[in-house]
Amino acid sequence: MTLPEFGSGKQEWRKHLVSRRKAVPAEVREAEAQALARSAAALAWRAATVCAYVPIGSEPGSLALLDELRSAGRRVLLPVVTGAAPLDWGVYFGEDSLVPGPHGLREPSGLRLGPNAVANADAALVPALAVDQRGVRLGRGAGHYDRSLAGVSGVPLIAVVRDEELVDLLPGEPHDVRMTAALTPGGGLVTLSGM
């Protein structure tokens, strides 16, 4: 599949990546979700508290991934959108504990832990449309994760993408928080250069 030319803007990349995701057959998506859940469970051996997300639309991942982390004894935190402010966080206690949020999201219903919870996590799985070898991540363009992760240090930031969404070079801006790794269905955990 051809990629947009280097130098094209973030919006073109987003359009291209979203339409490519929508074309992925359901059975491929399901197989990829299972591979991601297995890799995430292995990763959890090194992480007591893991920030993660409930996938919407064609995003990679699944509730099964979150349940695997819980079964491995990890505390799983999920984001809560609070307008333009940094994301708040709540604990995942299984599918029944989720309530509808904005943008078709499902969010944790319980206690809010405050935006700082991510800084105290042991790892964060971050939704992304793509990530490049330097760790530059492309999100949905609302800036939620960039605002929430600015200033967070020492927490492995792991972009969850399909194999073909780990690309050589994305357009980056100074506010883009660099990811330390990518989690892909085919490659498992891939460390990124941070250069």
The answer to the question of residue 142 lying near ligand FFO (CB under 6 A) is yes
**DSSP for 56-100?**
-TT-S--HHHHHHHHHTT-EEEEEE--TTSPPEEEE---GGGEEE
Q: Is 10 annotated as a binding residue?
A: yes
Tell me the window of 36-44, 64-72, 75-83, 170-178 that interacts with ligand ATP (CB under 6 A): 170-178
Q: Tell the smallest beta-carbon distance from residue 189 to ligand FFO (Å).
A: 20
Maximum distance among all Cα pairs of the chain, rounded to whole angstroms: 45
Separation between Cα atoms, residue 66 and residue 46, nearest integer Å: 16
Nearer of residues 92 and 145 to ligand ATP, judged by Cβ:
145
Cα distance between residue 158 and residue 148, in whole Å:
14
Choose the binding region for ligand ATP from 66-74, 88-96, 101-109, 138-146 (rule: CB under 6 A). Answer: 138-146
Residues linked to residue 111 through DSSP beta bridges, in sequence order = none
Residue nearest to ligand FFO (CB): 57
Residues that bind ligand FFO (CB under 6 A): 53-57, 59, 79, 81, 87, 103-105, 127, 139-140, 142, 144-145
